[in-house]
Every structure is written in structure tokens, then in C-alpha cells.
Chains A and B, each alone.
Chain A
Amino acid sequence: MGEVELSCLAYVKMYLHACLFPRCSVNGLLLSSSPAGGAVCVTDCVPLLHSHLPLAPITQLALTQVDVWCAQTQQRIVGYYQANACVSDCSPTPCALKIADKIAEQCNNAVLLMIDGGKMSPDYRVPPIVMYERKDSRWTLKDKHTIMLRQWEETREIAGQLLDSGDHSLLVDFDSHLDDITRDWTNQKLNAKIAELASPANAEQQLKAM
């Protein structure tokens, strides 16, 4: 089907979420600030849970709250990501398919992204992700060539830097927010840090273009 672009911000937060809870399955929502139609641009993500993913109440609550927040900030929910606790199996679980189905009801080129835990070590040169799209009411593997990560090297650098400095502990997922509601699941602080690290690259790009 169509092309999917994954932004640095979305990738880094997803990656850090998986790193923050290495012993649990984690999941989250993929968002886009671009208008519908054409390629899917995943510009941000909201990390959701790190415990009891299949249970309904908190997932429903999170989906509703993120929906409201998206309406307030001109974003749309365009996908779902999950990283399984068991590193040897990165196939979508029934709960992943269920939530992705729900998202697809509102967004017809929604994507389902599984993080491949086995490929997350620093010596792996390619993004450790597997993407699925909806074809004939089933989630099918997406052609790798239709998935784009601009500035992949810089993105990977930034993720690594934040891990090394321990800043990944700044990440707040919805579960952590419920444990302490003063913590912000929209992650404004972490977003700012990532933007700071990303901007030298942007500045260089702009210089080259000029």
C-alpha cells in the first residue's frame, strides 16, 4: 500500500520505552500531525502500558484520553506499537491485533509496529522494527522499502546518547502516570531534550541545502 515515514521523535521514544522496561511487554500509540491522505507520517508516539496489556479498562481509558489530547493538538492516532517481553518472538499478540483493529476503524491506513527485541543491540545497523498494514481485513507484513526513517544514523545516535546518560528514565508512560499523576504522559520534557539533540543535524542539513 502506501509509504510510512517514522520521525526521529516517535522512534526514539518508542525505543526508550522498550529499554526502560526490558522485562515487560510494552505498548503505545503512534500519532501524526499531518493531514489524512497520502503517505502516513508518524510524527510522535504516546507510550501506554508496561503491565497487563490485555486488560481492558486502562487501555480504554488511555485511548480516550489520547483521543481528546489529539483533538486539542491537531494530531491523529495512526497506529500502535508493541514490544514483547519474550525477545525470541516479535509477532503481534491477539491484544495487539485487537487494538490495531480498533485504530484502523478510524484511520484506514493505520500501521501496526512490532519492536524486534532481538535486534536492539548497538551493533545492529538497521531499525529493529517490523511493520504491518491492513490488507483485506488482515494485518500483513509491510514491504520494508515503503518504510522510511529520515536521518536514521542521527536518530540511532540520539537514542543511544539518551540511554547512556540515563535520560531514558525521564520517559513517562500512561501506567507510570497513573502511579503518580503529576508525571506527564505527553512527555514535553523528554520531547524538548530530543529536539535539542536533533537540531544540530537539522541545522547542518539546512546549511547544506543553502
Chain B
Amino acid sequence: MNGGDGGEVTAAPPAGPPPPLEWKFSQVFGERTAGEEVQEVDIISAIEFDKTGDHLATGDRGGRVVLFERTDMKEHGGSRRDIERMDYPVSRHPEFRYKTEFQSHEPEFDYLKSLEIEEKINKIRWCQTANGALFLLSTNDKTIKFWKVQEKKVKKISEMNIDPSKVVGNGSASSSTVSSSPKPYLANGAYPDRSYSCLNNDMTFPPGGIPSLRLPVVTSTETSLVARCRRVYAHAHDYHINSISNNSDGETFISADDLRINLWNLEISNQSFNIVDVKPANMEDLTEVITSAEFHPTHCNMLAYSSSKGSIRLIDLRQSALCDSHSKLFEEQEAPGSRSFFTEIIASISDIKFAKDGRYILSRDYMTLKLWDINMDSGPVATFQVHEYLRPKLCDLYENDSIFDKFECCLSGDGLRVATGSYSNLFRVFGCATGSTEAATLEASKNPMRRQVQTPTRPSRSLSSSITRVVRRGAESPGVDANGNSFDFTTKLLHLAWHPVENSIACAAANSLYMYYA
């Protein structure tokens, strides 16, 4: 499905769908030992690969961001441009190592509204790298922060003019003495010009300068990674932020909460523009909230947002300053007669992702994954059943609030496969190339195939529908899995990400980060 212009079926390679992938365990970070209790703050709440796939970031409920870097391709020297263009063979699968971590958000209290603001990281997005420094945005419910992570030289100074040990004790020096401890000045916030009054510009020096003065010499060559918060984008959201997304223009990003989407310039933290506002004049008329929003990967003017009613709206920023009217609406007509109390709840879209080429949008609702072609707003081009077996249990799921779980979804870099999480630490991978019947269920553990359900191969395309390629497929297993275990609703795999260029998936099971490759 990469790059067909309108004729999806004909664009598929004649060789048919790619063979199903054989998933293998690669790595795990933060694995639990048997019986170990999971600390709430350690639970992973966001996963994101950067554009090149050389870095991976996770955020957790404790407000920390952990960075990992790829280790299996260090042998490639050369400039960044070469690496970017290199089409290296997949001789090895991606392997990562812990790089650094930092505390991104702290718990806060909004005194005006008497609200506690959790430190939990809701989303992480990578920004354009420059000079080897990494940049990323992280957000909790209210505040977005822009981070720069960079190697810094560890300073070790020698060759000072003044013996530092002398300065400390030297209280009796003349009035021009400068205390080496700056604390008293800093405490006032202001920094007076101190004793430099004798250094005003009319001070004369001999023409050749003063030979006894010397510059400090930095001796250490060690470096350490330092994360610095460069900007804080705060006070722009009345409701909880559910998404942030970078624009392809490299200078702006959006943040979305339940009712509004704001547009920011990365360089300007004190103002943002409201571009979508679905708040009704009277809150009692509220029927629909924004659940997720993402910029188009290449068209800087286009963005999509999903709603709790199961629709996806595509908006064009060029049309007007306030984009309350969408340019395209994608939603599926519900089958008549199937309506129940749960219809609206399970229709709510928890996540949307653009495919890399920007033509397709993947959406996840409670029961399914749907793939949409942005040129076709009559319905999804493919639907994958993820939780169909839970349909009889919706009542229980509603009682224990599981029905409101927000599962994320992701697409492979080549756009041939999609993946999403489920309960019992399972995640599912589907092939979405024409004719593909691939549907794997994997467990986030060292043996991912343990729970693999061998789905009987079913005709994936209803041949009668010749124009639209509608796929309905998936394991319609009963309430218990193939091994006879009942599903565990407390262990849910909400967050996962697909490596941008290789078949590798990172997914979070509570506090553990599991990586798989194929």
C-alpha cells in the first residue's frame, strides 16, 4: 500500500502479500522478577521512537523520561547525511541500551482550581535533532516541556589566577575581593555589579597587556549527558492534554485536550493559537470530545483529530484561522439494529496515527483497529478485530472501568502492518497489505509466541466488494484464550511503538519495556 495513486488493488506488488513475520524476543528493560510488586510511579505511560529509529524514549507515571539509544549500528561511520541516505541491509536487528533519564514533570497543585496535577507523562514527541543534541517534547495533563539532551564536557579547571582555596578563607582582602560563594547575591534574585566598579572602562592597562594574567585551562575531556528544559508551554489547556504532535515545518506543534487544539511555535512558549474549539456554549450540550490529534507527516497544513464518537476529522489550516469546520470527516455508519448501551462507549477512538506516507490513517477504538484512506471518506479500507471476543463481557468491563482503557496503535514504517495492544499483556500485529491474512497475537514476555493463537486462515477480502477493499479479520476467540486462561484485565498493554524503518516493536507491560524484532 505504499504509494498507490488511487487504485489500491493494482498498486500492490504482483507477488502478493509479504509473508507473515516471525517475531522474536530481542530485549527487555526493567523486567520484573517473579512476585515483585510494581510501583505505580514506574509504570510506563508513553513510548516513542525518534524519526531515524536510533533513539527511543519512554515516559512513566512518575514523570520521568528515559532515553535509549541504538547500539547495533555504531560501526557505520560517516556523516549524518550518509547515514540518512544509506539503505543498510538488515543484517542485525535493532538493539538498544539505556542512555539517560531525567525528571520531566513533578506533581503540582493548582490552587485556583483545587486540582492536583499528576506528573504522569502522557505523550512524548521527538523534535528535529541538531548538532548531536537531542530534542523532545513531553507533556503531562497540563504542561508541555521542551527538552534538550546533550553531551557536555565535564569541566576540570586548572591554571587559575587566584588560588581558589585562598579566596574562600580570605575575608580580609580589600573591598574588591569577591566572595567565591555567590549564594548571598542569588538569594535576592538580582545580581549587582558588585565590586567591578573599579573595572570601569577608563581603567588603563599597559599596551602589551599584563603578562602575569592567564586564562583558565580546561583539562578534562570527559563528557556527560545533560538534559535541560529549554521551554515550558503552560497555562493553555483547561482540560487534560491527550496529544502533542510536531509539524513537518519543523517550527510548530499542536497540543490537544478534550475540547481544544492549540498551535504553538517551538520557540515561543508564552502564546499559542487556538485552532480547534469544540466546546459548546453550554456544557450540557456536550456530546463529543477530542481524544487524539496528529499532524500529517508531510503536509504542514493538514492535521487529523479523533473523537469520542468514533469519527476522525481532517482539517486544513490554510482554510481559516479557527478550524472549527473540518475539510473531511471519516466515520463508519453503524449497522442498523446493533445499537446498545455500549455502542457509543466502544466507538470512542483512543488513538490515531498517520502512516509514514501520509495517505492512510490508523485508528484504534475499543474493539477494532481501522485503516482509513484519506481519499475515501465513505468508510475504512480495512477493519481488524482486536477485542471481538470481549463483546459478551462489555457489562463487566463497564463495571470495572476497563471499557475506558485507551489503547494505542502503530504502523510499521513500510505501512504493510499495524499493531495494537490488548489485555493480559498481549499485543496483536496484522498485515494490511492487499491479500495479507497475517494476524499474530504476541505476549509481552521473553517468549512472545507462547500465547500465539493459530487463527484459521479466513478469506480476508470479500470478493464481492470490488471497489472498496474491506477486510474483516482477526481471532474471534472466546473469552478465554487458547490456553484456557481467562483474560486478565489488570495487565493491559496500552503503549507500543513500531520502529520507523525496521520490523521492531517496543511495548510496555507495566514497568517493563519489551522489544521484539522480526
> Are A and B physically bound partners?
no
Q: Using CB atoms and an 8 Å cutoff, list the residues of chain B in contact with chain A.
A: none
Q: Using CB atoms and an 8 Å cutoff, list the residues of chain A in contact with chain B.
A: none
